[in-house]
Structure 1
Amino acid sequence: METIEFQGGLFSDEVQGGRAGARIRLGLEGLEAETPTGERFRLPYADCQLEQGGASGKMIFCHGPGRRLTLFSEQKGFAEALARSGGDPIVEQLKRMGLAARKERNRYTLQIVLGLVAMVLLTMGAFRLLKMGATRAVHALPVSVDRKLGGLAMEAMSLDGPKVTDPVLVGTMEKLVSRLEPHVRIPGLEFQVTVVDAPIVNAYCLPGGRIVVYTGLIKAARRPEQVAGVLSHEMAHATLRHGLERIAQSAGAVVALELLIQDVGGLLAMAVELARHGVLTSYGREQETAADMEGAEMMLKAGMDPAALAEFFAILQEQHGDVPDSLAWLSSHPQLSERQAELRRRAELSRPAAAEPLGIDWDEVVRHAKDPQSKHSVDSKTQVGEHPARAE
């Protein structure tokens, strides 16, 4: 078999910058690549996993085991030469890629159709009804969508500080969450806690259960039940699917129509953008009130007093005023005085079941929050733009 050569490139940790141009030869047993600086690489056909993409959508990627080596080219004839040289396994992969390309073209056609329908609806003044329908439609989606969405959002967001691995801080937050978790409204959420060292009086829970707690909030609280109240409120946003509702409310006509037919591609893409701009965890007044009440119900079932959250609001009001602009998580919330009154009323109407002591030395937790100890911390790498760029 003759050796065939194409212009392309490669990804590998063994080359400077992780990427280099390369001449790719199709030999008897596999692909052989040589960089302009003379470095040589070999990828057997038997180990090659194919993928099509890149900016043009026509680039063929040949991934090695664990993607430690990837060779690619978009030169005309590369796929055909691979089919001739690589044998049946390569031919089967190329066939599947062709099917995937047709599905993508069909999706693009559907997008065009949906766009045209959206234009008609807009001219008829029905866009508001469409978005209302999309907001309701998110509650029919499987919980797996929440988990996927939360994972993508977590990768896209900046944590604004280093992650903390201090077992006292992380263990305490996990203990509080595990006390509340059996009483959430919908099963299937996977609550995971990340503690971040930053002087921010904040906590949030992304769709699917990804929780972030800042040491500033821990230091502001005077007992663990107050933090449990905040966590129950944030977990309630996830169980009530307020994040998905927020996306649906921000969606354009095409994404709204996609939701009505249970297509979540646009939903996930929009979630990443909203997360990057901090919109995904910013809720309206009605959603905040609903999360207060749902969180109070979780606290009661977990044997904790929901008035603890009202106590924490009182601390914030004492230190910062009624609606402290400096606290992002309260910027669009109902006023603290109103929320305190409602939570105290709820606590008076229904006292919690027999409480089991939390068994937490809160003074010790606060001491750790004031000095999380650098040996227990790792730098956050979630800032947008810090992920290694890939051509795929």
Structure 2
Amino acid sequence: MASSDTYAAHAFHHSFDKERASGAITLTDVHVQFHNDQGQVRFPVSGTQFSLGGASDRLLFIRHPSEPDWNIYTSDLSILKHPALQNDVQIQRRVQQIKNKRRFTWGVFASVVMVLVAIPLLVVLFMDSLTGPLARHVPPEWEQKLGETAFAQYQMGQDFLKQEESDQLLDPLLQPLLQQLQDERYPFQFYISSDDAVNAFALPGGIVVINSGLILKADSADELLGVVAHEISHVTEQHSVRNIMGTAGVYLTINAMLGDMSGLLAMVANAAPYLINQSYSRGFETQADEKGLALLYRAQIEPEGLVTFFEKLREQEQKQLDKVAGEDNRESIESTLQFLSTHPATEDRIDHLQEQINELPHQNTLDLSLPFTTLQERVKRFVAKEDEEPET
């Protein structure tokens, strides 16, 4: 028995109102027939011409040389699976060409979709690397203004050693570092804050705040300068600005990659409140470690100081772990803390820095013990408020 199937279709013919009408195609093993309430046409399967068309090749057009006035089309592409189209060699070849074209079209479409998905994903995954060249387009004056705005907010309620005295105490310690900077983009300014947290932080444009707790906790100038070199590197590598760019979103970042920096620059200009308590990615912290280590070496400052400082941090971490965990579950809590941290685990930083130090050629280093001792003694009096009231 001949196979017969019907498919919804449309046809163009001058006998129809407006020369176009909907109807149905009936396909048998022998004939193709279009019919509706206004008329019909039938022609043999043999010699029928099939071609894809319409948006994304979603329509199949059917014509036969014997009926040149008729142009039939259907969006039901399941018609291509009809057995009648498998019996004629010429039709089968043409149907295979149509199928191949559709596969190619869908392949191209799928590739485009994958690219559209992949580009934002790659931007997110490699945001730290992408923001590097983009950040160089931020005018240094913008960074300085941004840092000054954030610092003005931080100053409220904080005590600082008088700037003139601070400069006098820090200058003999910091000049070896500053003279070895390879980028003169930023005029660095250093402040000493009465804060017992063992820390320092840097703001865009070259502002570096050194806590009294760091100065008093350090056992040598090398330890103090190791931390300061790390913070200087956050500035020279523009990590704060790049952090801001990293939160800008894929759209603004891609626009900037294509040359339109306006969106990112506008975001940078209004980001001051975000800077004081910011954290850096693992990549940025590692880069600051490495750049800071190189700066210390160029300045002939013993780089082991940065390692011994991190060892102090590691001791503090262990004390904190001892407070919250017994020996039975200490390891699991420690690994969890390392995993959740947005900074490289301290142990990893120590090992990485020590490996780099071991590869450095030996050199004589500066003896900065005298200016360091002078600084510590003054800061002790400053914290104890034994002298004149500090500048706020």
Q: Report the equivalent of 2:343.
A: 333
The reply to whether residue 314 of structure 1 matches residue 311 of structure 2 is: yes
User: 1:163 aligned to 152, 160, 163, which one?
Assistant: 160
1:323/1:158 CA distance change after superposition, 3 Å: farther
Deviation readout 1:84-140 (Å, 9 max, x if unpaired): xxxxxxxxxxxxxxxxxxxxxxxxxxxxxxxxxxxxx9xx54545566455641133
Is the CA contact (8 Å cut-off) linking 1:180 and 1:302 kept in structure 2? yes
1:321 CA displacement: 2.3
The reply to whether residue 294 of structure 1 matches residue 291 of structure 2 is: yes
Q: Which amino acid aligns with 1:378?
A: E
Q: Report the equivalent of 2:370.
A: 360
Deviation readout 1:284-319 (Å, 9 max, x if unpaired): 111111110100000000001211110111122234
Give the distance between the partners of 1:344 and 1:207, measured in 2 at CA: 29
Runs (5+) with no aligned partner, structure 1 = 1-120, 380-392
Runs (5+) with no aligned partner, structure 2 = 1-112, 324-339
1:322/1:335 CA distance change after superposition, 3 Å: farther
User: 1:346 aligned to 356, 360, 364, which one?
Assistant: 356
Q: Report the equivalent of 1:53.
A: none
User: 1:178 aligned to 151, 175, 181, which one?
Assistant: 175
Give the distance between the partners of 2:191 and 2:138, measured in 1 at CA: 26
Kindly report which structure 2 residues correspond to 1:79-90, keeping only aligned pairs within 5 A, or say none: none
1:346/1:365 CA distance change after superposition, 3 Å: same
Deviation readout 1:34-61 (Å, 9 max, x if unpaired): xxxxxxxxxxxxxxxxxxxxxxxxxxxx
Aligned length: 252
Deviation readout 1:160-217 (Å, 9 max, x if unpaired): 6311128665433333332111222422211100110011111011111100000011
Q: Report the equivalent of 1:261.
A: 260
User: 1:152 aligned to 143, 149, 152, which one?
Assistant: 149
Equivalent position SS for 2:365: coil
State the structure with bigger RCO (CA 8 A, min sep 6), 1 or 2.
1
1:207/1:363 CA distance change after superposition, 3 Å: same
Is the CA contact (8 Å cut-off) linking 1:208 and 1:238 kept in structure 2? yes
1:173/1:294 CA distance change after superposition, 3 Å: same
> Moved runs in structure 1, 4+ residues, more than 6 A?
322-326
Q: Report the equivalent of 1:250.
A: 247
Deviation readout 1:259-285 (Å, 9 max, x if unpaired): 442336413334213126x22xx1011
1:222 CA displacement: 0.4
Is the CA contact (8 Å cut-off) linking 1:204 and 1:212 kept in structure 2? yes
Is the CA contact (8 Å cut-off) linking 1:219 and 1:370 kept in structure 2? yes
Give the distance between the partners of 2:235 and 2:297, measured in 1 at CA: 18
The reply to whether residue 197 of structure 1 matches residue 194 of structure 2 is: yes
Give the distance between the partners of 2:287 and 2:370, measured in 1 at CA: 29
Normalising by structure 1, we get a TM-score of 0.56
Look at both structures and tell me which one has the larger radius of gyration over its CA atoms.
2
Q: Report the equivalent of 1:377.
A: 390
1:221/1:159 CA distance change after superposition, 3 Å: farther
Give the distance between the partners of 2:354 and 2:122, measured in 1 at CA: 37
1:359 CA displacement: 5.4
Deviation readout 1:209-264 (Å, 9 max, x if unpaired): 10000001111100111100000001011111111110000114675467442336
Is the CA contact (8 Å cut-off) linking 1:150 and 1:208 kept in structure 2? yes
Equivalent position SS for 1:194: strand
1:320 CA displacement: 4.0
Normalising by structure 2, we get a TM-score of 0.56
Give the distance between the partners of 2:321 and 2:343, measured in 1 at CA: 10
Identity %: 24
Give the distance between the partners of 2:261 and 2:299, measured in 1 at CA: 35
Q: Which amino acid aligns with 1:297?
A: A
1:252/1:342 CA distance change after superposition, 3 Å: closer
